[in-house]
Structure 1
Amino acid sequence: MQLIRNITGNPEVTVLKEKRAAGVLDSFAKGGENRRRATIGICASKPRAEAPRASAATPAAVQRLSPPAPAAQPGPTLDSKPSTKMKGLFKSKPRTPVDVVRQTRELLIFAGRAPDTRETKREEKMAELSKNIRELKQILYGNSESEPVSEACAQLTQEFFRENTLRLLITCVPKLNLEARKDATQVVANLQRQQVHSKLIACEYLEKNIDLLDILVSGYENTDMALHYGAMLRECIRHQTVAKYVLESQHMKKFFDFIQLPNFDIAADAAATFKELLTRHKSTVAEFLSKNYEWFFAEYNSKLLESSNYITRRQAIKLLGDILLDRSNSVVMTRYVSSRDNLRILMNLLRESSKSIQIEAFHVFKLFAANQNKPPDIVGILITNRSKLLRLFADFKPDKENEQFEADKALVVKEIAALEPRDRP
């Protein structure tokens, strides 16, 4: 400070510019050092060597005068995660059943187009479609943690049939992977049972889009689609008007061939659908059989009852018993048991080595014996074969005791034993 006073107060003292700056800087440095020592209480045992004076151009001096740079604050990184509150702000809104159906419809439309888009993009869309179909199934069936919600099912069903989503889904099944096909089959099946305002709107939709049944029946001609379309078809014919359409269509004749397909699973599935068509809606079936008796039973006898395939014969004779023993088919039954050709087929089935076929054949044969208005040719055949029939029935019994069967057998034996020849009219 004295130096400064001398320089500024005494005009006779002249100091070069470089020396003046060095002196000021040196005094500033020494004063700072003394203050630090006084503050932290450091006592030097030896006097410190005088630091060399720095010139005005020395960078060290400039650095001492400059304030220290603030410490760098860590900035946000790409890996930093948003807080829980931020997550809540950007969380996607849960989709409603209507949203799922609408998005599924858009994806089905995309899937139905020719594959002119990039393969990668198409795979992504198809994967998204499969995910949506799985979500539709979960809404309709529930999952391991919760039961289906009736309101959600109603919303889904209403939106599904508001536009052609069912048609899109059925026609798109061949383009789906196996798991998605299974899910789609379950979705279509469940929708046939869903009621909206106490109405089965699936039935109304199918009545207006009856050609969809043509696609489903024809599915038996495609090995990959047969089981999926077959399951859908059985659920659709739960509706009487839909079943009537199939019964009266040319598709009905195809079932006699489908049932004999070499693929066992497909043949069994076709047989299950065939049985459903002929047993579910009693009045419709009775009307169909009455109108189509000639060709239907001609096909039934030759292709099913006289088939070389054991399983086909066994299924056919059991179904025939179910049909003829149903009261709604009494007119058809009376006509059937008045035919000598039919009796001949049944008597041959009674001679089968398979006990199960014999038992099922007996349930149909007893209708011939119990008929109180037997035509003369039927009586003649029974009398001619009376001794053989009585010997057969003597040891004829099911594997398990069955009182009703024994009662029926006793009645048949009594009727055959009491037969007398009748003159032909």
Structure 2
Amino acid sequence: MKGLFKSKPRTPVELVQHLRHLLPYTSPNHAERKTKRQEKICELRKVILEMRTVLYGGDTREPTEEACVKLTLEFYKEDTFRVLIASLPNLDPGTRQDVTHVISNLQRQRVNGRCIASEYLESNIDILAKLLPGCDDSELALSYGAILRDCIRHQVAAKYILESDYIKTFFRYIQDPSYDISSDATDTFRELLTRHKSTVAEFLSKNYDWFFKEYNSLMESPNYITRRNAVKLLGTMLLDRSNTSVMVRYVCSVENMRILMNLLRDSHKSIQVEAFHVFKLFPANKKKPPEIVNVLVANRSKLIRFFSDFNLEKADEQFESDKAEVVKEIATLELKGQPSSTLNGSSLL
């Protein structure tokens, strides 16, 4: 008899509609009494789990395209996304994690070839201003950062952040003492600067001076993880064909080369290796400015001696070939103009 009165499962559309009904109860200032509010929040957790099952499937069923489409279309109606984001701080960590999984899936859903999430963000781009400050909150950074990276999958979102002052805040987030904040910000920063190549190339070209001034501060950070991540990402950016003009400009700077030469003698081998992949671009540049040539010549003997002892733990033919080319190029350089003394701070010991 008990089974006869079992409630009928909600449809995908009804799930989202019920979610919208429950979200206001997450506010600590809601007029409902505390006990009733807790009941509603508990119900909300169950709704989020049901939505996750619709999108990902469960123990007894696989997700169906029809159900996912209906849930997606309803979710991006009536600003459900915005209200859900605003409610995240009032949810427990477990529920926040389920929310990020749901949103991640919804960001990828396509309906008749259309990316509904991208269309929504284009019309509601200001929602990113709600997400970005959350990246500076140690309790919320993992959730907000994960959702933000899913938004950055869409070019409209990445372009908005790169063209706003928000991009400058990442240099602060990355160096935050909180590991959760710094590591999550690093992941988002990397996504911003690698996913949409044409947008990134345009951004770097237009903002070269201030961007690389800030970026070089990451390369010289006293924090090992910050230095390692920065030099690795730099290599990824400069070696990307879409950033060729930026790379050429970068390797014509003596100051940039000084930083890379110092990183070559870092106490951590992983940083030395990543620094080498960027440093090799300086001697390889066929249009090296005289000051670059003169510094390389002044440091020639120390550089050649350094590279003769610079080896990887495992044999790597490409690494050895690149190293041989660098040594060959440096060995054949001749001073240009006025002889240059060793550049201060860049002498290899």
Output the TM-score relative to the length of structure 1.
Answer: 0.78
Map of 2:70 onto structure 1: 155
Shift of 1:91: 4.2
Identity value in percent = 60
The 8 Å contact of residues 103 and 147 in structure 2, kept in 1 or not, is answered as yes
The 8 Å contact of residues 137 and 181 in structure 2, kept in 1 or not, is answered as no
CA offsets 1:278-313 (integer angstroms, 9 cap, x no match): 0001000000000000000000002x0010101100
Equivalence map 1:380-399=2 (5 Å): 380-399=294-313
CA offsets 1:212-254 (integer angstroms, 9 cap, x no match): 1111111122221111000000010000111000111111001
Map of 2:110 onto structure 1: 195
CA offsets 1:173-231 (integer angstroms, 9 cap, x no match): 11111211111111111110001111111111111111111111111222211110000
Equivalence map 1:19-418=2 (5 Å): 82=1, 88=4, 90-112=5-27, 114-302=29-217, 304-418=218-332
Shift of 1:423: 2.7
Map of 2:347 onto structure 1: none
Q: Which has the higher contact order (CA 8 A, sep 6+)?
A: 2
Q: Give the partner amino acid of 1:288.
A: F
- RMSD of the alignment, in Å? 1.3
CA offsets 1:78-99 (integer angstroms, 9 cap, x no match): xxxx4x8xx54x4433211111
Unmatched 5+ stretches in structure 1: 1-81
Using a 3 Å threshold, how does the CA distance of structure 1 residues 91 and 146 change in structure 2: closer, same or farther? Answer: closer
Q: Give the partner amino acid of 1:218.
A: P
Runs of 4 or more consecutive aligned structure 1 residues displaced over 6 Å after TM superposition: none
Whole-angstrom distance in 2 between the partners of 1:339 and 1:294: 12
The 8 Å contact of residues 284 and 329 in structure 2, kept in 1 or not, is answered as yes
Count of equivalent residues: 338
Whole-angstrom distance in 1 between the partners of 2:93 and 2:274: 38
Whole-angstrom distance in 1 between the partners of 2:75 and 2:313: 51
Shift of 1:112: 4.1
Q: Give the partner amino acid of 1:208.
A: S
Map of 1:62 onto structure 2: none
Q: Secondary structure at the match of 1:391?
A: helix
The 8 Å contact of residues 252 and 289 in structure 2, kept in 1 or not, is answered as yes
Shift of 1:391: 0.2
Whole-angstrom distance in 2 between the partners of 1:94 and 1:231: 30
Unmatched 5+ stretches in structure 2: 339-349
CA offsets 1:17-49 (integer angstroms, 9 cap, x no match): xxxxxxxxxxxxxxxxxxxxxxxxxxxxxxxxx
The counterpart of 1:420, out of the listed 310, 334, 346, is: 334
Q: Give the partner amino acid of 1:322.
A: T
CA offsets 1:370-407 (integer angstroms, 9 cap, x no match): 00100000000000000000000001111111000000
The 8 Å contact of residues 221 and 227 in structure 2, kept in 1 or not, is answered as yes
Q: Give the partner amino acid of 1:140.
A: L
Whole-angstrom distance in 2 between the partners of 1:270 and 1:369: 33
Further displaced range: 292-301 or 347-356: 347-356
Whole-angstrom distance in 2 between the partners of 1:111 and 1:354: 47
Larger Rg: 1
The 8 Å contact of residues 24 and 30 in structure 2, kept in 1 or not, is answered as no
